[in-house]
Amino acid sequence: MTESIGAPPPVPEKAGGGTKVVLGLLAALGLGGVVYLGVLEAQRAKLVPDGTTAPTMEMARHGGGTLKLEDLKGQVVMLDFWATWCPPCREEMPALVKLAKEYEPQGLVFVAASRDDGDRAPQLVESFMRNHLPDLAPYVVYADDNVARAFQVSALPTLYFLDRDGKVIDAQRGSLSEDGIRRRIDRALKQP
């Protein structure tokens, strides 16, 4: 009998060898989560800080009239800066309108502050509502550059919650899921 000379047979992996891979993946996911939360916190830091009284601003209402945020004291305000040309805004808006209707009896007021372009804004918003979301009409106001600057809006959508005293209690840059919006509404309504 002769033995063939060659590479030694493969050594079977020890039990639990895959555990290192799983632990490595979990560590990478954990680190990714920490980085993501850090980015969110950095974005939040660029918005009006919690506890700040909302700027006193007057905005034109869609269809006529004006809205002053200070006139909404005593109610929780969900103030969303959006535009018809913004895909995440368009995707998020049906959930905002649905939740606004659901929570209105509990003291929530929804303000959809359009950042569409100047003189064309009413036509753009009207077309959007007619084609996609007619129930949005009573909530629309037009936020000019001064309003956007006062609320540090540099990206859309940007969502603020104001307490019953007109102070910022929460803010988010970027869109949220319906469940995420609902959690924020519930938290805001529980504030004294």
Q: Average pLDDT, stretch 147-168? A: 97
pLDDT band for 151, please (50, 70, 90 cuts). Answer: very high
Percent of the chain scoring above 90 in pLDDT: 73
Give pTM, 2 decimals.
Answer: 0.77
Residue pair 76/167 in contact (Cβ under 8 Å)? The answer is no
Mean pLDDT estimate for the chain: 85
Contacts of 162 (CB under 8 A, 6+ apart): 54, 69, 72, 76, 77, 79, 168, 169
Q: Average pLDDT, stretch 141-158? A: 96
| Partners of residue 81 on adjacent β-strands | 113, 158
